[in-house]
Amino acid sequence: MLYYAEADLSHLEVPGETCLCLYISGCLHKCKGCHYSILQDKNTGLPLSKYIYDLVELYISKITCVCYLGEGNNSAEEKHELIKYSKYVHSRGLKSCLYSGSNTSVEDWMKTFDYIKLGAYDSSRGGLSAQTTNQMMLQKDRYSYIDITYKFWVSNRNSPTMESHYELQRLNQHL
């Protein structure tokens, strides 16, 4: 069962979308320099199944996408749970995004998501907003995915507010 440690709204995780971001705990990756190590603890936070529907309804007028940051323990059960939630937000007229920390290509189970971020955090390469990053953001384009990582590098991120500076730091490190 998936647990989430935090929920917030952000326009930084997915270019062009305002997201309800859900930080999934139980991360199996051990990235050096992980900024949010509590996500490595199993079952930290609240059970997502109990709250996701209310969270989506609470914020539905303010968001265009629901972003799941993490895959939990990567079990078949938790993958099915994420697929179920992705289909649910589609039924509510929203897009869905998966932030995966795995160094992998798009796996079949991920193909319900409109956006997929792939790749572990490598402090020597930086996160999505660094042009040296090993990570990748993909957007569904009919039956395949296109790489839109470059959208994190646009100039409107050059003059961050205090709040967005914090968010960018977090984004630089997360997943």
Q: Contact residues for ligand SF4 (CB under 6 A)?
A: 27, 29-31, 34, 36, 39-40, 101, 120-121, 174-175
CA distances from 38 to 4, 30, 81, 127 (A): 11, 11, 21, 19
Give the span between the Cα atoms of 37 and 26, in whole angstroms.
10
Pairing relationship of beta strands 95-99 and 65-69 according to DSSP bridges: parallel
Pick the closer one to ligand SF4 by CB: 33 or 144: 33
Pick the closer one to ligand SF4 by CB: 36 or 85: 36
Least distance between ligand SF4 and beta carbon 161 (Å): 24
Give the span between the Cα atoms of 74 and 64, in whole angstroms.
26
Pick the closer one to ligand SF4 by CB: 115 or 121: 121
Least distance between ligand SF4 and beta carbon 62 (Å): 25
Least distance between ligand SF4 and beta carbon 90 (Å): 25
Pick the closer one to ligand SF4 by CB: 27 or 118: 27
The helix or strand, by DSSP H or E, that contains position 171, with its residue range, turns out to be helix 162-173
Give the span between the Cα atoms of 169 and 158, in whole angstroms.
13
Least distance between ligand SF4 and beta carbon 70 (Å): 6
Give the span between the Cα atoms of 142 and 145, in whole angstroms.
8
